[in-house]
Structure 1
């Protein structure tokens, strides 16, 4: 059986308020053609179909257009699981209709075993804390973390047993949307399992012939294991991913699991460039045409109109989305904030800065704050 693994589409995502829909549409076109030409039997989409629990209508339309085209192929089955950005109920709404076209959607956890014929899949979506344990007042964060991780292990063990009971000698594949220890993150992941609350070791997937992961946006194998992989996002979602090769994973189960990475064509390149103020125009001449750029300028002293100067120097050959200044320490004025900007911080980091400012010993407060964040996220994504 030939299976294609992808994840983290984040339909509806924006970058510095720029639409990404045309890039996602180009990816969907390419994916449909790849499924056809590579004679794929199944598609696995491991979470974060959308960028938000309430995605814009044009993103929803693109999703259903893709599923219609997938059904028209008449040869490719699909398994789609929810991620932490998805609303489980929103994703599940058309599941009974989609099942008639061999598209199996799982927004919530459960015994989600799918028999694809040539392989059996444990379709595990993002597991929220409420799916794994019952919270109690006054719990220590270390105890919560231990319970969550143990429950994730138990869930996958039960899924493996159910798959093996169905599969016989056929391969069994796990899907998951979570952080696996030792994997590499990028700036674009917004992890609601604060402090890696739900992060587990790759040994959780022992016994599965392949594990199709989502949640982290860089394509990678985990802990040196060829068969435990993040496919990565098909579109670069932040400038920290500018140098990444975006890809999907092709799996062939004939005579054992064989894996091949297939590069996704880039519709709009992202560029991260460091330049000197004295040679600004010449340095920017090396930036890829028609790309979106984040430009960091090395300065000797602050310049109030730096943004305008960089955009003028670009000359419309590419679009400058962000301009950053790199100043020597001696020139850093008192009004400049030496840390990241507020919009670059996660809520827990903001809370930590507040505790530092007030000189509060805050281990217990951090634990309570983590619980409040998790409860808020559960309400948003329910």
Structure 2
């Protein structure tokens, strides 16, 4: 073992430290490190967790990638997908793709004797992923879709259900209109109530049978208005997107779930800025405290420095001793910070102790993403930055005269 590291361990774990001034200084240093770790862990885990949770909600409701006709533009009424050079089976066979499901949409109004609401009826087929949709249900079940005949079962959002005073098993009339034609009336039974916490979805969408849309839109039995593509992992969306685009034909276009709601994407990108600012502040606080610890330890052990210099120890070796010493006393702070930080995050992850207003944050409970890589990088990063920041103040040691240091004692 090299001499500086050996000597650092001796003084760092010496029992004498418990009875001198350094005890208070070491405690302050460890406390600042622990708080820095805790705040950084919470910031990163909840910030990235929120981004991931919101993106997954958008994707689970309408697919990670949606395929539409170029003629549909931004209309809520579907235009039939063009089948020329469109290969849904090849899309389904891509390694990044978990499943695909067809759909068609039409805009309308839900009305009862008390109130009305503008809606987008999203008709789905028998390939509808009811299991994926189940996570959004707060009451009832998903509509049963067989594509044989016309199902009158629908799932409405909790927002629409509240506005229209609807409950599971209630009936409601929907009105659809087409240009130059009489309004079309349909009576539906509410079998499910869902909640995504995404205002743009909850305010508008109801889920039902694709055959209802086909009849209203005068589409044939095999025509569809779009296709939702679900991936195995949302992180693969950038790799999968160009592959999907090659298989949809020239008269259709693909759109990422995040691109449908740019205002939400812009909002969640703010998390990156907030995370960077908070971690920077925590690093500055930790570094200032650790430098303070180092300087006080140097002053307190001026006599030891003088003796070491008298015995022939170089300034570089003495600097290494005190830098190693300071880093060693940080380790308990890092351990305590990780234990407390991870503990608090686990409590939030499994018990949802802290809630949010979904109208402002798009999630009702603070989500947590506990990534081992980020946990390691935070601890290693704080330790590395602290080590680098200690180099300059450690040069104070070279200014200490051995004779004066011994007399100082």
Higher strand share: 1
Larger Rg: 2
Normalization by structure 1: what TM-score? Answer: 0.20
Normalization by structure 2: what TM-score? Answer: 0.19
